[in-house]
Amino acid sequence: MTTVQMRGKGTITFPAKLRSKYKLQEGEVFTIIDLGGGSFMLVPKTLEVDALSRRIAQSPKEEDFDIETWLPVIKEERKKFFQEKYGDVNPSGNSR
């Protein structure tokens, strides 16, 4: 068991051993699940955009690859990611 301390603005530093073991990098996104009773769980969020980019990187080697099929999917995933990360923002930069 490892103990960590929360710092200003809620920052928690993951021990290097865990970051290395699970290949966690700066900017990693997590889902926090409230288990109740003061317990919670952090789960690394696998972004669909990352999974898609890995698939696309392999796809040109496959005969059935069609970039026109993937572009709308990527655009939609980027939109979802932006919405989750920044919320609903209008062009002037103010939250709606």
In tens, the pLDDT along 25-78 reads 888 888 888 888 889 888 877 666 666 666 666 666 666 667 777 778 778 877
Supply the pTM of this predicted model.
Answer: 0.45
pLDDT above 60: residue 91: no
Which residues are within 8 A (CB) of 59 and not within 5 positions of it... i.e. 6 or more apart? 65, 70
Q: Between the CA of residue 49 and those of 2, 14, 28, what are the distances in Å?
A: 32, 24, 13
Q: What pLDDT score was predicted for residue 61?
A: 62
Q: What pLDDT score was predicted for residue 96?
A: 47
